[in-house]
Structure 1
Amino acid sequence: MNKFLSLAALTAGLMLSVAASAQEQATTASSNGSNRPIPNSDIMFSKTIWRAVDLREKQNKPMFSEGKEISRVIIEAVKRGELQVYRNDSLTTTYTPAEMTSNMSYAEASAGLSDEEKAAGFSEQDAGGGWGAASDDGWGSSSKKKTTASKTKGKTKAVVAKTPPPPPSYEYRYKDLYQMELKEDMIFDKKRSRMYHDIKTITLLVPATLGANTSGIEKPIGTFKYSDLVRVFRNNPDKAIWFNSQNDAQHKNLADAFELWLFNSYIVKVSNPNDSRLDEIYGGQQQGVLASQQAASDLIEYEYNLWSF
């Protein structure tokens, strides 16, 4: 009888262990980009937050040092095939390396004519090297370099009109790509009784303030899983450096810099039913900055109240 009870207890224990293991595996999958996912059963509070990171700020300069820019590390990893790039932070669709390169490229604008040249009688056709109906050779004679038809031995032969070549395209320098957006879940783990910043994705952006960015708005280059970035940073310790200006012997890996939160950021969006950014909700950039400070204060106060009551 005792042997039977012992066997039944052992069987029940094994079944519970397998069930717990299955639940743990299901809730800790890193498909959402999390490097250290927290099981849903341990989450008491969670809020999704989007933060802007300006790499020109003094506190962020260590991850944007000359030749070791985080934008350089990420983009070169994509070009080597070491890192997957996604279209947005939903992580459902991807870009090819060529598409990402196109997103971080710009076309050189046509220089055109100055006011002095226009006053002297030159036209845009002259500046185009004869891509108009006629061009002046500078001696008062004009020669047509583009015709629509010509006669040869009594027959009319169509001539294909030439079109001007497209303007050349260039990639932005790594130093130009100083804007990032970070998506995280701010989670209170009831098992460990502490708040975690669970980073999900990081998005590289073309800043709106760049002169070559004629659209005047931030343009996403690509989004990356944070778990993938940690792997790339660890695999490239000589490149993925957080520069310690006080001690060259104590440079850190970029993965450690994010883990220790050695950067400055400001909140641009908090999860809401309309999926709106703070400046859209409050009606302007200035109001959005004030709302960002208020949102950060509210989250700190919420965490404090969890400990107080």
Structure 2
Amino acid sequence: MKIALKLLNSILLLLLVVGSVNVSQAQRAEEIITESSEPASEVFLDGVVEKRLMVENRVLPYEPIREADIAWEKRIWRIIDTREKRNLVFRYPEKSFFSIIQELANDGDINVFRDDRFTEIIESDELIQILNRVDTSVVFDPETYEEQIKITTEEINWEDIKRYRVKELWFFDEETSRLRVRILGIAPIKEEYDEETGMFKYEAPLFWVYYPQIRESLSKFQVFNDSNDSAPMTWYDLFEARIFASYIYKQSNVLDLRLQDYFEESDERGIDILLESEKIKNDLFNFEHDLWEY
């Protein structure tokens, strides 16, 4: 009988010890889960992980090319219409392409030029006037009972920039025996309308940016990808891979004429300009193939 009581006491003691161990382990597990569930910092990500690919991205400099290796070159000017389906990324409301250029220019990270030869830099004071629209209005002062002229400034709306001009250089590299292209400059175009009638008057580039200078800056801004939000394509990748739709409106010529200057005003003028643009593009394509013998 005594042996049975001792055995029963030993079993009860063992159960109490095991139970206390399980409780302590459960408490530790709960503490671990509670601590790990708290955010490591006060940064709340709009995604699964913090994306660092673009931040750590580095743009390689252009490979050196000898002047003697350039056997032929041609300057081409293009128009990128942001209203085309393929170019809608230029009008992404969260961060449009014009907003990026405007931000870089205002911060002084890039230079802006008056012409497409990049000879005259626009100073910051004049740039402010270009990027801002000044309006005057007459207001009534209730204290002095007098009319006063109030001057207000408003930044250019990115939605008003519908087209861009792109200047590029096509050249044949004898060292690699292939036709190559490099973008030289980009210019946003703004349309001007009559304030009274609202009729279109003309369009003109606001300024020119030198593309080789902004390559590094464009590699820090992501392009919206309609197929995959996680794709790390940047504006640098878009221009280098030429993922945009455009048409040629000018090529280098002795009189510095645009294609529209070759045709008279008519209902079919627009079609004639596009056909001539396609002809120039095909000539560039055929030029490279004509250099080879099979």
TM-score over 0.5 for the pair: yes
Query: How far off its partner does 1:250 sit?
Result: 0.8
The one-letter amino acid of 1:57's match is E
Paired position in structure 2 for 1:150: none
In structure 2, C-alpha distance between the alignment counterparts of 1:233 and 1:264, rounded to whole Å = 19
Work out which of the residue numbers 62, 75, 96 in structure 1 matches 2:102: 75
Task: Please give the secondary structure, in 1, of the residue aligned with 2:207.
Answer: strand
Query: Do the aligned residues in 2 keep the contact of 1:86 with 1:95 (CA within 8 Å)?
Result: yes
Query: Residue by residue, what CA displacement relative to the aligned partner does 1:197-236 show, whole Å, maximum 9, x if unpaired?
Result: 11111112213579898662112211111111102113xx
Could you tell me the percent identity over the aligned residues? 27
Match of 1:276 in 2: 257
Does 2:222 match 1:241?
A: yes
The question of 1:84 aligning with 2:68 is answered no
Q: How does 1:203-282 map to 2 (within 5 A)?
A: 203-207=187-191, 216-234=201-219, 237=220, 240-282=221-263
Aligned positions of 1:15-164 closer than 5 A: 38-108=65-135
1:25 matched residue in structure 2: none
What is the aligned counterpart of 2:277 among 277, 289, 292?
A: 292
Structure 1 spans left out of the alignment, 5+ residues? 1-33, 111-127, 131-144, 147-161
Point out which structure has higher relative CO (alpha carbons under 8 A, 6+ apart): 1
Contact 1:243 1:251 in 2 (8 A): no
> Which shifted more, 266-275 or 40-49?
40-49
* CA separation of 1:219 and 1:102: change in aligned 2, threshold 3 A: farther
Counterpart residue number, 2:159: 175
What's the counterpart of residue 306 of structure 1? 291
- Residues 10-53 of structure 1, C-alpha deviation per residue, up to 9 Å, x if partnerless? xxxxxxxxxxxxxxxxxxxxxxxx95563221112211001111
Change in 2 beyond 3 A, CA 1:294/1:65: same
* Secondary structure of the corresponding residue to residue 165 of structure 2: strand
Q: How many residues are treated as equivalent by the alignment?
A: 225
Distance in 1, Cα, partners of 2:195 & 2:274: 24
Match in the other structure for 2:31: none
RMSD, aligned CA:
2.9
Q: 1:190 aligns with which of 159, 168, 174?
A: 174
Aligned residue number for residue 116 of structure 1: none
What CA distance in whole angstroms lies between the structure 1 residues aligned with 2:232 and 2:111? 27
Find the aligned partners of 2:86 and 2:237 in 1 and give their Cα distance. Answer: 15
- Report the TM-score, using the length of structure 1 for normalisation: 0.64
Deviations 1:211-267 (A, max 9, x none): 898662112211111111102113xx2xx2221110111131111111111111110
With over 3 angstroms needed to count, the CA separation of the structure-2 counterparts of 1:43 and 1:99, relative to structure 1, is same
2:292 partner SS: helix
- How far does residue 62 in structure 1 lie from its aligned partner after superposition? 2.4
Q: Deviations over 1:117-175 (max 9, x none)?
A: xxxxxxxxxxx789xxxxxxxxxxxxxx99xxxxxxxxxxxxxxx8x637644322122
CA contact (8 A) 1:203 1:222 kept: yes
Alpha-carbon separation, structure 1, partners of 2:252 and 2:115: 16
Evaluate the alpha carbon distance shift between residue 81 and residue 210 of structure 1 in structure 2; reply closer, same or farther with a 3 A threshold.
Answer: farther
**In structure 2, distance between residues paired with 1:174 and 1:298:** 35
Is the CA contact 2:191–2:200 (under 8 Å) kept in the aligned structure 1? no
2:149 match: secondary structure? coil
TM-score, scaled relative to structure 2: 0.67
Q: Secondary structure at the match of 1:200?
A: strand
Query: Residue 300 of structure 1 aligns to a residue in which SS?
Result: helix
C-alpha distance 55-248 of structure 1, shift in aligned 2 (>3 A): same
Max Rg structure: 2
CA distance in 1 between partners of 2:262 and 2:153 (Å): 37
* Cα distance in structure 2, aligned partners of 1:82 and 1:190: 35
